[in-house]
Structure 1
Amino acid sequence: MKEIHIIGVPSDYGQNRRGVDMGPSAIRYAGLKEKLERLGYRVRDLGDVMVPTPETRHIEHQKLKYLKEVVSVCEALAERVRDAVGSGYTPVILGGDHSIAMGSLAGMAAAKKQFGVIWFDAHGDMNTDETTPSGNIHGMPLAASIGIGHEALTGLFGIRPKVQPENVVLVGARSIDPPEAELIRQSGVHVFTMADIDRMGMDAVMRKAIELAATGTDGIHLSLDLDGLDPMFAPGVGTPVNGGVTYREGHLAMELLSESGTLLSVDVVEVNPILDHRNQTGRMAVELVESLFGKRVL
């Protein structure tokens, strides 16, 4: 049986709404470790990556806000992920904003894994310092991980690219900036929008996504942004977008990925307890991870 290592990354440097740094605590409070253990896994919680306090920093680059801090946090996370995967463990990484995924993917690449990525998100996260309307780096991690953008991000941990775009699949997209859309079209990344899910159904979308991400690889990293779900089910996120994935569609997506036997690692990001209702989104995150690791009705 594989052992799961939980790694917290309480960082909100990648965005401008405070509170997401408390996401790891909210997910832990919802019983993640205990519920995974009930499924029969050995689980170790390795604690949190050290993150400096934002109030002690200043913004040097308006188009790359908190660049040095984001890179520092991601490289520290990459070391932990590399060590976990290299030792045969499955990392479950708790964010924090979505910029931390650059560290997750850098660690996977450093562990010499050939992997694909399913990026479950309302947004494209394919901006760069040249296209960003906000300067927030949580809108850039997917672009950076396939080698597009500022060198400080694309070259993070000395590996570029972290993953090949043909093995990257964005699922649930419904809010993409026009310049970002052009980058996506040029990049070779595969995208299934909410319109595709409406037409095809989540079953067909996820089966195709798994096929694309797994082809020619050792397995799949899931980057699970809770704003991929409709705000009705996950209100505690910084950038909610109406018309998202339903409760059952989300669970079906996790169940299909679980059944495929391809999962290597997962990060769970953008849970913001300040904006939540009685930890509804933290509990939703735990439920989805349970499905991802095999929980079923029968």
Structure 2
Amino acid sequence: MSLSHLKKSGDAVFVDSSVTKANEIVTAWDGKDASNFSLIGVPLSKTSISHSGASFAPASIRKMLSSYSTYHIEDGIDLKTLRVTDFGDITMHVTDFEESRNRIKSTIAELLNQFKDTMPIILGGDHGISFPSIAAFTEARGKIGVIQFDAHHDLRNINDGGRSNGTPFRSLIDEGILNGEHLIQIGLRNFSNSAPYTEFGINHGVTIYTMRDVRELGIQKIIIDSLNRLSQEVDAIYISLDMDVLDQAFAPGCPAIGPGGMDSQTLIDGICYLASHPKVCGMDIVELDPTIDFRDMTSRIAAHVILNFLVEKVKLNR
């Protein structure tokens, strides 16, 4: 039996036979094989120190992929033949946050060990998910360098409230998982941090680029200098993208919005420069709350980040 005029839920509203939508290159994991690129959702935001619905972001970002085509007009590249494996979402424990972090670490480690050729894009979740995610990458890929786009250091101590979305990089450094000299922070903003945490970063060798640096030096120079240094010292490079690095005008769907941030094109350019380097092996996208977004503006940028990342990797592997 069949019913007329139906389309699968989640597909693009309008179908044009000459256009491939980006969601069409994403296929659910079949329990066996994985493509060279993959998505995995980490819907944890209960550990946020502010109100956050970031746990809804994985679904929102996936949905926004259906709003865009696979064609990159500037480089003449069409991603329509690319395949991206969607592993689904890691199931979070309802009340035990330590168990949730354990599940994140073990699942991502298993993914990386079983599918050594796949490059995961991790959809958070608040920034607390980066602690177990990067720990898993370190176990599976060796010495890791991290380039963090963020308005905040996320170097808070854990004594005043335990592990949260403000503590991931403090925890990684304190536990010896990440060498502070291998952490580069880009986009730090005025009135979003405190002197003690800037001092902690400096004392542990963290490279800190403020928004003034981004404006005066330019994102290309910052990324090239960062890659040149890290590539000599680490086995692999991980991108951690906190969407609140963006100005509130571009990313209203962030729990910690504020003025003076990065514009969306500067962020996309930075991601493209990074993705073009062979040692960049994965990325997380965090701190996006669809419940407070406006017309999915922030989720749309996240979808663009993913697509531009994929284009640069395709160019690299030609």
Name the TM tier (shorter chain).
Answer: 0.7 to 0.9
Q: Distance in 2 between matches of 1:46 and 1:177?
A: 38
Q: Distance in 2 between matches of 1:265 and 1:34?
A: 22
Deviating runs (4+, > 6 A) in structure 1?
32-37
- 1:80 Cα deviation from its structure 2 partner: 2.2
Alpha-carbon deviations, 1:269-293, whole Å to 9, x = none?
A: 0110111012111110010121122
Query: Is residue 235 of structure 1 aligned with residue 268 of structure 2?
Result: no
Aligned to 1:31, the other structure's residue is in SS state helix
The structure where helix makes up a greater share of residues is: 1
The answer to which of 240-249 and 267-276 deviates more is: 240-249
Aligned to 1:158: none
Q: Distance in 1 between matches of 2:253 and 2:294?
A: 7
Aligned to 1:264: 281
Query: Is residue 20 of structure 1 aligned with residue 54 of structure 2?
Result: yes
Q: Which runs of 5+ in 2 are unaligned?
A: 1-33, 71-77
Q: Distance in 1 between matches of 2:141 and 2:221?
A: 30
2:177 to 162, 165, 172: 162
Aligned to 1:111, the other structure's residue is in SS state helix
Query: Is residue 119 of structure 1 aligned with residue 153 of structure 2?
Result: no
The answer to which of 212-221 and 182-191 deviates more is: 212-221
Query: 1:169, 1:213 within 8 Å by CA — same for their partners in 2?
Result: no
Query: Is residue 255 of structure 1 aligned with residue 272 of structure 2?
Result: yes
Q: Normalising by the residue count of structure 1, what TM-score does the alignment of the two structures yield?
A: 0.83
Q: Distance in 2 between matches of 1:170 and 1:32?
A: 31
Cα 1:295–1:259 change in 2 (3 A) is closer
Alpha-carbon deviations, 1:22-67, whole Å to 9, x = none?
A: 01111111117996793643211111111133xxx4xxxxxxxxxx
Aligned to 1:106: 135
Q: Which runs of 5+ in 1 are unaligned?
A: 58-67, 148-153, 155-160
Partner letter of residue 145 of structure 2? G
- 1:136 Cα deviation from its structure 2 partner: 6.6
Query: 1:78, 1:106 within 8 Å by CA — same for their partners in 2?
Result: yes
Aligned to 2:311, the other structure's residue is in SS state coil
Q: Distance in 2 between matches of 1:33 and 1:164?
A: 39
Query: 1:39, 1:294 within 8 Å by CA — same for their partners in 2?
Result: no
Identity among equivalent pairs (%): 27
- 1:178 Cα deviation from its structure 2 partner: 2.3
Aligned to 1:93: 122
Aligned to 1:187: 204
Q: Distance in 2 between matches of 1:218 and 1:139?
A: 26
Alpha-carbon deviations, 1:118-141, whole Å to 9, x = none?
A: 0111100011124x5x76710100
What CA RMSD, in Å, does the superposition of the two structures yield over aligned residues?
2.4
Query: Is residue 42 of structure 1 aligned with residue 83 of structure 2?
Result: yes
Query: Is residue 206 of structure 1 aligned with residue 223 of structure 2?
Result: yes
- 1:110 Cα deviation from its structure 2 partner: 1.6
Q: Distance in 1 between matches of 2:68 and 2:88?
A: 15
Aligned to 1:225: 242
Query: 1:172, 1:193 within 8 Å by CA — same for their partners in 2?
Result: yes
Larger Rg: 2
Partner letter of residue 223 of structure 2? M
Q: Normalising by the residue count of structure 2, what TM-score does the alignment of the two structures yield?
A: 0.78
Aligned to 1:293, the other structure's residue is in SS state helix
Query: 2:241, 2:284 within 8 Å by CA — same for their partners in 1?
Result: yes
Q: Distance in 2 between matches of 1:271 and 1:165?
A: 26
Cα 1:231–1:40 change in 2 (3 A) is farther
Q: Distance in 1 between matches of 2:256 and 2:231?
A: 29
Cα 1:32–1:288 change in 2 (3 A) is farther
Aligned to 1:144: 171
- 1:13 Cα deviation from its structure 2 partner: 2.0
Aligned to 1:74: 101
Aligned to 2:5: none
Query: Is residue 173 of structure 1 aligned with residue 200 of structure 2?
Result: no
Alpha-carbon deviations, 1:200-245, whole Å to 9, x = none?
A: 1111111112223322222210001110111111110001121111
Aligned to 2:43: 10
Aligned to 2:256, the other structure's residue is in SS state coil
Q: Distance in 1 between matches of 2:205 and 2:66?
A: 35
- 1:112 Cα deviation from its structure 2 partner: 4.3
Alpha-carbon deviations, 1:157-210, whole Å to 9, x = none?
A: xxxx22221111001111212221221121111111101111111111111122
Query: 1:127, 1:139 within 8 Å by CA — same for their partners in 2?
Result: yes
Partner letter of residue 7 of structure 1? I
Aligned residue pair count: 269
Q: Distance in 2 between matches of 1:136 and 1:271?
A: 19
Partner letter of residue 229 of structure 1? L
Aligned to 1:30: 64
Cα 1:34–1:284 change in 2 (3 A) is closer
